[in-house]
Structure formats: structure tokens, C-alpha cells
Amino acid sequence: MASRDGYQWTEKSGLVKGVPSIGVIQPASNIGGKQERYDVIVVGAGYCGLTAARDAASSGLKVLLLEARDRIGGRSWSSNIDGYPFEMGGTWVSWGQPHVWREISRYNMRQELELSYDFTKGVNHFTLTSQDGSRNMSHEEEDKLMQSALEKFVNVDGNIGKTVMPFPHDEFHNPEVKKFDKLSVADRMAQVKHQLSPDEYTAVLSFVMLCSCSTPDKTSFYEFLHWWALCNFSYEYCIEYLVKYKFRGGQSSFAIKFFEEALATGRLSYAFSTPVSHIKEHNEGVEVRTRTGSVYKAARLISAVPLNVLNDITFFPPLSQGKKAAASTGHVNKCVKVHAECRGPELRSWTGVNYPNGQLLYALGDGTTPAGNTHVVAFGADHDRLTPEKDIEVTKQALQDLTKMELERVVFHNWADDEFAKGAWFFSPPGLVTESLDDMRARQGNIFFASSDWAVGWRSFIDGAIEEGTRAALNVIQDLRMKGGAPLRSVL
């Protein structure tokens, strides 16, 4: 089945909207005409909503899962084109990410991982393109450059960040760290620029902009410190945890496990292509209205709606001032993710940066397609944003600006302009996390808010989504049990 999401281009077909994905669910709904009161409605079927729905249904609750898109996975999903999985959003996982690894282990998928990098085939170099021109270096030189540049960038405590953020999963353990959320990446670059060579300057900035897909002035230095701490305070583990291991069958082969487990309980009702417009909360429970006017009722609701689109739903009573403000500020990640299938094997071992002039700032050889071509994945950020669905020729040029390649196919998802996400993975502007994290996480009456966007561990990641879905389901189960209300009577 093809999803409405994503695009692909080939010389032959031109630009086509929608790409096939095993994450598209058919039939799109299993509700039929029945009207019932659910124990919990989960809004959003990304990893967070899927985890919440699965855990709630497994614990005996009657669950309704509503999703605006035609597919599961939210900001993490894979299209499968001619037998090859292109990752349209969140891609990489690792055993350094506890929640996601627990699930990979539980679903016995440990042996379904493969490496993004393969430096044994092809050109085997890194291309650094900056305002000063372009040159190639070895991957060993790339690693040294990145490590050295990043260590200077994060070294606010003479201990590469270990003193200010000793517990990455308890980020404010040393409250001193909060002051770094006042700094943008631009501010921090100004502090360290005298220590950086021109290559180091480009290297660190392109890497951090790959993380935020924003601009230096809109990116919180603090949030990068948090990522750094999560990655064992080392560039080696940034690679290890952030961009190395992916599913042979694509992300949707993982997400579908959650959905199937929930469905197998016999307690999951669901409707896809069903955007929610209103959520009303009252003493007895919640009421949801969809854009097409259907109304669903439940005792509790889990909103797994991303921060940047939270204000697009009308809540009654209204969202707290804190939540509203956080959602208006929003996170800053405006990633446009572009895959290129390029003729031949040469680029399999290539990585490259093109900053600040490139509209695609970072790319790497990510796989070999069944046709024997190389798959290169590239990331566009907010400094000079691509809209590939409007101008595919500009996008093709942005790929060529990274390194010369013979394009057979382009596949992309423009997350910045995605109606149901308005951005890719969470990355905070200065101030947002330290000021609004508690607000974003807070419950409002019978509504629980869950999203990777406000996870405390691997915030922004699939891991954070599962962390949050886990939390929300447990909270709802405990809440219903404590109240001794009707919802659990059927189970206990």
C-alpha cells in the first residue's frame, strides 16, 4: 500500500506524491458502526501513541487509537521501493537507547540491524565543503576533526560537559547546567571561535546543525549538551548511537510489531486518516471530535500529538498557559530529508558536509539498492530551506552540490511542511526546555500528554517516544485503578 506521505522522483515517472509503506494500515478503521465508551483514547500512532495503545490494551483497557495519517509511525516510517527501505524520518537505533532496545530485544529483532556505514566499497572519503571551497579527507581525518572540534565546543567545565551534566537521564542533576539553555549555538560559537580552525568551525557547526536542522541562532546550546551527554560525551558514540544501526526491513517493520501486539489483545479499536479537531475534558472523562464530525468518548485520553501541532487542536478547557506558550514557541527542527539513489557503488563509503552554502548540509552513503546503486541520505535544514515537492530541480542540484552523483531516483519527506508534524524530531530553541519541560509533561484533568518532544532521556528520539508512551499508559492504568471506576471492572 502507498501512503499519501512522502514523494519520489525518477527520470521516467517525474515527481510522484506518496510512497509505498508496510506502515499503511488496511482496513483504515475497525470501528464500524459501533458506538462505545472507551477506557482510553490515544491520539497519534507514532511510536509514543503505539506504545501507549499497546500497553493500555495489554493491561485490559478498551483502547481507541486515532491517527490523522494513513499509516503508523508518525515521524518514523520507511517506504519500500523496489525491495529497498528508504527511511523517511527517524532511522537509527542502538542498545545505548534503553527504551527502544528493550523493545528490539522483546520482539527478538536484535539480528535485524545493519550498518549504515560501509567504508569498504568505493571512494572512501569525506568531503568538506565550506565557504572556502571543497576538499576530500580520509574518514580518520574526519573523525579527528569532528572529535577535536566538538570537544572544544562542549567544554564549558574543563571536563567536556561531564561535570555540568553528570546524569544524562536526570539532566538537571547539576542545576548549574540550566544556564547553558540561555545560549544559542551561535552564542557558543562566538565563545569558542578563537579556538577553532576554519575546518573545525565548519565541522562542528554542520554537525550541530545536522542535529537541530535549524539555524545557529535558533538552536539551544544546552540541548546539544544533552545529546552529547547521552552519547557518552564522545563523537565516537554520537556516531554509534545517532547514525549507525538501522533495521534491515525499515522502521515500519518495527512499528508494526507494536500495532499487531495491541490488535492481538482484541481490545484495540482504531481509525486512520482521522484527524482530531477538538478534545473536550470533563469530570467524567473526555470527548473527541474529528475533523469530519465523528465524536468518541472515553474515561481518559492520551495525546501523543507533537508539540508543533498541539495548538492546531482545540482543547476545552483550553490548554494551560504553559503548554500553549511552549507549543507557540515550538521546536526548531525543520528537516527536509532527501534520499538519492545514485548509479554505481562509488559513494557507498562517502560522507560529506556542505555548510553554510549548501541547501543539503550533511549526507552519507547509507546502503546499496538491489539494483547495485548507492543510496545516499541527505539532510536539509532551515538556513536555506528546500521545498523539493515544489522544485525538484533545485533539490537535485543541492545533492550535486554535496558531491557529483548520477541520480537514478530521489525520495524525500519534507517534515517542515508536514501538516501533522510541522517539523521533524524535536530540537529546542534557547530557553524552551528549562522553562517549559514541566509544563509540556503535565497532565490536565483526564488528559495525559505524551511525546518524544518532552521525554527526559532520549528526548527527540524513537527511544523518547517509547519512554513517553510507556509513562502515559502506566499513569492511565494506575489512575483508573485508583479511582476504582467502571473502566477496569471488566478486567479485574
Among 457, 465, 472, 487, binds a copy of itself (CB under 8 A): 457
For a copy of itself, the closer of residues 201 and 233 by Cβ is 233
Among 121, 297, 396, 481, binds a copy of itself (CB under 8 A): 481
For a copy of itself, the closer of residues 111 and 283 by Cβ is 111
Contact call for residue 161 and a copy of itself (CB under 8 A): no
Site string for a copy of itself, 168-207 (x = CB under 8 A): xxx--x----------------------------------
Please choose, out of 162-170, 203-211, 212-220, 292-300, the segment that lies near a copy of itself by the rule CB under 8 A: 162-170
Contact call for residue 60 and a copy of itself (CB under 8 A): yes
For a copy of itself, the closer of residues 194 and 489 by Cβ is 489
For a copy of itself, the closer of residues 36 and 170 by Cβ is 170
Question: How many residues contact a copy of itself, by CB under 8 A?
Answer: 37
For a copy of itself, the closer of residues 35 and 478 by Cβ is 478
Provide the phi-psi class of 408: left if phi over 0, else alpha when psi is between -120 and 50, else beta: alpha
Among 385, 389, 474, 479, binds a copy of itself (CB under 8 A): 474
For a copy of itself, the closer of residues 102 and 152 by Cβ is 102
Helix 221-230 to helix 185-192 angle (10° resolution) is: 80
Identity of the residue numbered 130: S
Among 10, 37, 95, 290, binds a copy of itself (CB under 8 A): 95
Contact call for residue 265 and a copy of itself (CB under 8 A): yes
Helix 462-483 to helix 47-58 angle (10° resolution) is: 30
Contact call for residue 492 and a copy of itself (CB under 8 A): yes
Residue 198: cis peptide before it, omega within 30 degrees of 0: no
Contact call for residue 264 and a copy of itself (CB under 8 A): yes
For a copy of itself, the closer of residues 151 and 187 by Cβ is 151
Contact call for residue 470 and a copy of itself (CB under 8 A): yes
Tell whether residue 68 is among the known ligand binding residues: yes
Contact call for residue 467 and a copy of itself (CB under 8 A): yes
Tell whether residue 67 is among the known ligand binding residues: yes
Among 237, 369, 406, 417, binds a copy of itself (CB under 8 A): 237
Among 232, 290, 294, 387, binds a copy of itself (CB under 8 A): 232
Contact call for residue 113 and a copy of itself (CB under 8 A): yes
Among 71, 99, 334, 422, binds a copy of itself (CB under 8 A): 99
Among 96, 249, 322, 345, binds a copy of itself (CB under 8 A): 96
What residue ranges bind a copy of itself (CB under 8 A)?
58-60, 95-99, 101-102, 105-106, 108, 110-111, 113, 167-170, 173, 232, 237, 264-267, 456-457, 467, 470-471, 474, 478, 481, 491-492
